[in-house]
Amino acid sequence: MGALSRPVPEQVDAAPWLARARLTRARVMGGAVHTMDVRGFLYGAYERRIAAELTPDRVPRHVGVILDGNRRWAKALGVGVESGHRKGAAKIDEFLGWCSELHIEVVTLWLLSTDNLNRPEDELAPLFQIIEDAVSELAVGRRWLINPVGALDLLPDATARSLKEAQDATADLTGLIVNVAVGYGGRREIADAVRALLHEHAGRGTSIEDLANLLDIDHIAEHLYTKGQPDPDLVIRTSGEQRLSGFLLWQSAHSELFFCEAYWPDFRRVDFLRAVRAYAERERRFGS
């Protein structure tokens, strides 16, 4: 169902490039031959090869991302949790640039779940500020249409206001739609959709019996946070965890899943291209 990304390019691909790289990068200093680091050269060539394999008809329209691993990244480096969250936030603009290059239409970024709201206040307070800063910077750049998704009423007023201001500031834009999922939970979204549906029909005077007889999946889909958007074709989760944890529960029924070992702050363009290539190589049957 999912695929683990490999930490390095396949050995059969890397070997000839490594040999050529050593020849071209080697230099003589004081009579001794020193070989420079070729990792960047190798991955650059590998990225170009994967990108060349992708065709527009096999690129997902909607990509959902569970940005996982900021805290573990920080712990591995021996720095504070806040540093991990800031490093993860700094990755967002770069990632959206990769999506734009492939002409992806919708990206949903899960920044904070409803479960995350139970974390200690001394972690949440700076995290809310980091999210506000990151979303405001995206809005100022005016490259993408920002669409907050989640239970904004559960968030601090300043955070909810920042998300709405980013949405208003980019409402006139076209192109890539960026769903910013903050205070988001899949079960909460479905409950909110059903609640909105009931309020709508109560306002029309529809009885519970009549509503029960006419209700179908489209009625609920029309009240989801992502109403009017295509469901995610591809869902990526970083940090090696292999579960959805409630992300886009309704919308991901037919999504292809890709699990990457890298923590989100270390997620690279080559990892993203591998995920898209894995998606392109799968045969989507939608149960048929």
Q: In the prediction, which pLDDT does 3 show?
A: 44
Q: Average pLDDT for residues 61-69, to the nearest whole number?
A: 98
Q: Which two tokens stand for residue 126?
A: 């700076």
Q: Give yes or no for a contact between 144 and 175, defined as CB atoms under 8 angstroms apart.
A: yes
Using the predicted structure, report yes or no on whether residue 150 has a pLDDT greater than 80. Answer: yes
Residues 6 or more apart in contact with residue 2 via CB below 8 angstroms:
242, 257, 258, 259
Q: Is the pLDDT of residue 59 over 80?
A: yes
Contacts of 63 (CB under 8 A, 6+ apart): 99, 104, 106, 107, 108, 232, 233, 234, 235, 236
pLDDT at res. 27? 44
- Give the whole-angstrom CA distance, residue 135 versus residue 170: 11
Q: What pLDDT is attached to residue 288?
A: 67
Q: Which pLDDT does position 37 carry in this prediction?
A: 66
Average pLDDT, the chain: 89
For 69-84, how does the pLDDT look when each residue is reduced to its tens digit (9 = 90+)?
999 999 999 999 999 9
147 is catalytic: no
Lowest mean pLDDT among 2-16, 36-50, 230-244, 255-269: 2-16
Domains contained in the chain, CATH given: 59-281 (3.40.1180.10)
Q: How many CA atoms lie within 13 A of 65 on its CB side?
A: 29
φ, ψ (nearest 5 deg) of residue 120: -60, 145
Identify the residue with better confidence: 36 or 162: 162
Catalytic residue among 13, 93, 116, 266: 116
Is the per-residue pLDDT at 12 higher than 70? no
SS3 84: helix
Q: Token digits for 89?
A: 């936030």
- Which tens digits make up the pLDDT trace of 29-41? 444 444 546 677 7
pLDDT in tens, 100-117: 999 999 999 999 999 999
Residue 21 reports pLDDT greater than 90: no
pLDDT of residue 209: 95
- Is the pLDDT reported for residue 17 higher than 80? no
DSSP 152: G
Please pick, among 68, 231, 233, 271, the residue that the annotation labels catalytic. 68
The mean pLDDT value for 63-70 works out to 98
pLDDT at 258 over 50: yes
* pTM of the entire predicted model: 0.85
**Tally of CA atoms within 13 A in the half-sphere of 243 that contains its CB:** 2
116 among known catalytic residues? yes
In Å, the largest CA–CA distance within the chain is 90
Instruction: Give 11's pLDDT tier (boundaries 50, 70, 90).
Output: very low
Number of neighbouring beta carbons within 10 Å of residue 255: 22
Q: What is the DSSP string of 230-282?
A: PPPSEEEE-TT----TTTTTTGGGG-EEEE-SS-GGG--HHHHHHHHHHHHHS
pLDDT score of 270: 95
**Whole-number Å distance between alpha carbons of 195 and 187:** 12
